[in-house]
Chains A and B, each alone.
Chain A
Amino acid sequence: MIGVELRLMLRRRRVWLCWVLLCALPTLVAILLATTRLAPPPGRGGAFLSAVVSNGQIFPAAALALVIPIFLPITVAIVAGDTVAGEASAGTLRYLLVRPVGRVRLLWAKLISVAAFVLLAVLFVTLVSYVVGVLAFGFGPDASIGGAGAIPSLSGVELTPLDVVGRTAATVGYLALCMLALGAVGLFFSTLTDSPLAATLGVLAFVVASAALQPLDAAAAIEPYLPTSHWLAWIDLYRDPILWTNLREGVLVQLGYVVIAFGAAWANFSTKDVTT
């Protein structure tokens, strides 16, 4: 079942289009920065953007910071919103459940396919932006400690290539978890309706509501538990020493959303009347 869902996901044109568009935005930004050399002034603009012109190897971090607030959540909403509602609207859900496929197993397979989508999305953005960044801005000045390929951390300390690989892998994993939490919410919304568009819009409304509440003083008590509050905590992986406080909280909050949203999807879908 999981293999079938993964193959189905990889065969979908809209999935590939999402990945292409996600990689296109940072590529466009890199081209514009490389041609104009007009990086945002220090402290302004997206994270790492002011530094990429002197070292292209930092560009994956800048690219992730670019796609995280809007573009990545939109693609996750599209894919997750389509998981169950898409089958229902296409009339295939009833036939799928007639086969000896348990509903929980189906939900689990759908969640795994969403997880694969978000992991590949973050990975593609990282790899493509690394290549684009190095082509556009080079490897940066020769490093005295880590040799060629080292990049400066936010704290000024050099990160060796091995360090960079480890921290980037952790970044990819963390962001994939953040997006999986959103995907799980999308999966739940997808069990509530037969319209993939409604489920997608529901996920986007959820993101917008969270982002709107985040800066409010009146919402300070719930701010640490909002899904968007920890999306930028991965930046702490590029400090030296790494600041784990926000990352640890972020992982727990996102896991909480995955468990609760999947539980809600299970509670709703297990006894839902499937007519289409």
Chain B
Amino acid sequence: MTAARVTRRWVLVAAGTAAVVGAAAITLPASGSDEPAEALRGRVLAGSPPHVGYAESTGRLGLPEIPALERVTALFTGVTQLRAYVAGPDRWRVDELTPAGERDTYRRDGREYLWDFGANQLTTVTGETPVRLPRAADLVPSELAHRLVGLTRADPVTSLEPRRVAGWSAAGFRVTPADPDTTVGRIDVWCDPASGLPLRVEVAARSDDRPLLFTEFLEVALTTPDDRTLTPAVPPGAGSVTAEAADLAGALRQLDAAEPPARLAGRERVPLGSGLPGVGVYGAGVAGFVLVPASRGIADRVIDGAASAGGVTVEVPVGRAARLSTPLLSVVARGGIRRGGVLLAGTVAPEVLEQAVRELPGRRA
């Protein structure tokens, strides 16, 4: 009798546990969409409607820490929590949330504002540069999808099974880059078929079918953020500084880098609007790469650290060079010479960057 009572009670607890766990785990099935993949791509390219959402991006690129670029590599090697308030292409705010604070980027009135709680400082950035380092705001699904789909608009697209993302029934499409030299195997995008708002993006390499970079909204609403939310604030005691985006050009000018070659590894240099000394972008779409001048210190530290990070030495006519490659991103650094340090990076096969670094002219002082 007692044993039966014990069993009955435990069965009740087990059933309650199953109900609680089941309620948490159940996700509603996603409903299909008749929209062709090409039409969905067109909607994403047309731009996103105003929205407010919370997203998480996960990078598994396995990149080693690159000196002076730790914050950038962290975006592609870990989880980044993001909160996006988007009113339009020129009025938005994206917060990078960390357990110890947050770093917020605002864009409004043709300017960018960067709030860093840890540094207790608001930086107003005026002007723009044609090339910049990746930042957390680039990983918001709507932004990343728009950027990647824009780079691959000529590549073939196919439909994917719909899936539920952030409670929305999302229609999916896959872009398969055709260029044999790119490391990008597929770009999968799921978006709201009605508004075209991208909800989830996955990027996988040719050599590995698992997504190495994926970002998705966990919560999103098609609402326009209010003006107060899009206005950066400077609390008392916090610093407020202004910087010109062109300061980057000034910093690069200090390196006295040579004019980038017109052609590298069989790829033409893409003309950049306003010049950044020594910087060159080569190739198109996801099969392109960038050449950035680096101080000798940074280039040498990357080369020295390459061996411990699984990198390999690259034979070059002048100086010394090393290659770091992951399934999705390749990086080559050349150093060992004064005023000739460079970093090359891109989603291209490592052999392409090796060829490019060998073609670079030396610059001994």
Q: Which residues of A38-55 have CB atoms within 8 Å of chain B's CB atoms? A: 41-51, 54-55
State the CA gap A48–B117 with chains docked (Å). 9
Q: For residue A144, which residues in chain B have a CB less than 8 angstroms away from its CB?
A: 236
Q: Is the interface of B mostly helix, strand, loop or mixed?
A: mixed
In the bound assembly, the distance between CA atoms of A140 and B6 in angstroms comes to 59
Partner of A263, one of B13, B24, B229: B13
Q: What chain A residues lie within 8 Å of B97 (beta carbons)?
A: 236, 239, 243
Which of B28-36, B118-126, B183-191, B325-333 lies on the face that meets chain A? B118-126
Contact of A252 with B233 at beta-carbon distance under 8 Å, contacts A155-B115, A232-B99, A263-B12 already known:
no
Q: Which residues of A contact B6 (CB under 8 A)?
A: 267, 271
Asked if B101 contacts A154 (CB within 8 A), the reply is: yes
Tell whether, in the assembled complex, residue A141 and residue B100 are in contact, meaning their CB atoms are under 8 Å apart: no
Interface flags for A174-205 (1: CB within 8 Å of B; 0: not) read: 00000000000000000000000000000000
Q: How far apart sit A158 and B118, CA to CA, in the bound complex (Å)?
A: 15
**B181 CB–A CB distance under 8 Å:** no
- Interface size of B in residues (CB-CB distance below 8 Å): 39
Q: A47-B101, A50-B100 are in contact. Are A259 and B16 (CB under 8 A)?
A: yes
Residues of B within 8 A of A41 (CB): 118
Docked CA distance A270–B10 (Å): 11
Establish whether residues A45 and B100, one from each chain, have CB atoms under 8 Å apart when the complex forms.
yes
State whether the Cβ of B143 lies closer than 8 Å to any Cβ in chain A.
no
Give the one of B122, B236, B238 with max A CB within 10 A. Answer: B236
* Cβ-defined partner of A267 (8 Å) among B2, B13, B99, B236: B13
**Contacting residues, chain B, for A213 (C-beta < 8 A):** none
Bound form: Cα–Cα A120–B104 in Å: 35
Q: Confirm or deny: A157 has a beta carbon within 8 angstroms of a beta carbon on chain B.
A: yes
User: How far is B116's CA from A243's CA once the two chains are assembled, in angstroms?
Assistant: 18
Contact between B237 and A42 (Cβ–Cβ < 8 Å)? no
Chain B positions within 8 Å of A49 at CB level: 100
A225 part of interface (Cβ distance < 8 Å)? yes
- Residues of the A chain whose Cβ atoms lie less than 8 Å from the Cβ of B118: 41-43, 50-51
Q: Name the one of A42, A224, A266 contacting B9, with C-beta atoms under 8 angstroms.
A: A266
Q: Which residues of A contact B119 (CB under 8 A)?
A: 42
Q: Is the CB of A156 within 8 A of B54?
A: no
Contact: A154 with B117, CB < 8 Å?
yes
Nearest Cβ on chain B to A172's Cβ, whole angstroms: 19
Closest chain A residue to B85, Cβ basis: A241
Q: Are B115 and A42 in contact (CB under 8 A)?
A: no
Residues of B within 8 A of A256 (CB): 20-21, 24
* 8 Å CB contact of A156 from B98, B122, B218: B122
Interface string of A64-81 (1 = CB under 8 A from B): 000000000000000000
Known: A42-B119, A47-B100, A259-B20. A152 touches B13 (CB 8 A): no
Which A222-246 residues have C-beta < 8 A from chain B?
A: 224-225, 232, 235-236, 239, 241, 243, 245
Assess whether A245 is in contact with B104, with CB atoms less than 8 Å apart. Answer: no
Chain B residues with Cβ under 8 A from A260's Cβ?
13, 16-17, 20
Q: Which positions 250-266 of chain B face chain A at CB distance < 8 Å?
A: none
- The reply to whether A55 and B237 contact each other, CB–CB distance below 8 Å, is yes
Interface residues of B in 86-128 (CB under 8 A from A): 95, 97-102, 104, 115-120, 122
A141 adjacent to B24 (CB under 8 Å):
no
Contact status A54-B120, CB under 8 Å: yes
B10 adjacent to A267 (CB under 8 Å) = yes
Minimum Cβ distance to chain A for residue B284 (Å): 34
Q: Among B10, B95, B101, B122, which residue has the most Cβ atoms of chain A within 10 A? A: B101
A163 at the interface (CB under 8 A from B): no
Q: Which of A48, A157, A239, A259 is in CB contact (< 8 Å) with B233?
A: A157
Shortest distance in angstroms between B218's beta carbon and chain A's nearest beta carbon? 6
The interface residues of chain A lying within 8 Å CB-to-CB of B99 are 47, 232, 235
- Complex partner residue of B115 from A156, A225, A241, CB under 8 angstroms: A156
Chain B residues closer than 8 Å to A50, beta-carbon distance: 100-101, 118
Q: How far is the CB of B263 from chain A (nearest CB, A)?
A: 41
**Chain A residues near B101 (CB, 8 Å)?**
42-43, 47-48, 50-51, 154
* Interface residue? A93 (CB, 8 A): no
Q: How far is the CA of A156 from the CA of B97 in the complex (A)?
A: 13
Residue of A nearest to B117 (CB): A154
On chain A, the residues within 8 Å of B12 by CB distance are 263, 267
Residues of A within 8 A of B238 (CB): 152, 156
Contact A43 B98 (CB under 8 A): yes
> With an 8 A cutoff between CB atoms, is B132 at the interface?
no
A46 — which chain B residues lie within 8 A by C-beta? 100
Which A144-182 residues have a C-beta within 8 angstroms of B? 144, 150, 152, 154-158
The smallest beta-carbon distance between A149 and chain B, in angstroms, is 12
CA–CA, A116 and B115, complex, Å: 40
Chain A, Cβ-Cβ closest to B16: A263
Please name 9 pairs of A and B residues whose Cβ atoms are closer than 8 Å in the assembled complex, sorted by A.
Answer: A144-B236, A155-B104, A156-B115, A158-B233, A239-B102, A260-B17, A263-B13, A271-B2, A271-B6
What would 5 more interface pairs be, CB under 8 Å, given A46-B100, A141-B237, A241-B229? A51-B118, A155-B104, A156-B232, A260-B17, A267-B10
* Chain B residues at the A interface, C-beta cutoff of 8 Å: 2, 5-6, 9-10, 12-13, 16-17, 20-21, 24, 54, 83, 95, 97-102, 104, 115-120, 122, 218-219, 229, 232-238
By a beta-carbon cutoff of 8 Å, the part of chain A in contact with chain B is 41-51, 54-55, 140-144, 150, 152, 154-158, 224-225, 232, 235-236, 239, 241, 243, 245, 252-253, 256, 259-260, 263-264, 266-267, 270-271
| A-B pairs with lowest CB-CB distance, top 8 | A42-B118, A152-B235, A141-B237, A267-B9, A141-B236, A263-B13, A43-B118, A156-B115
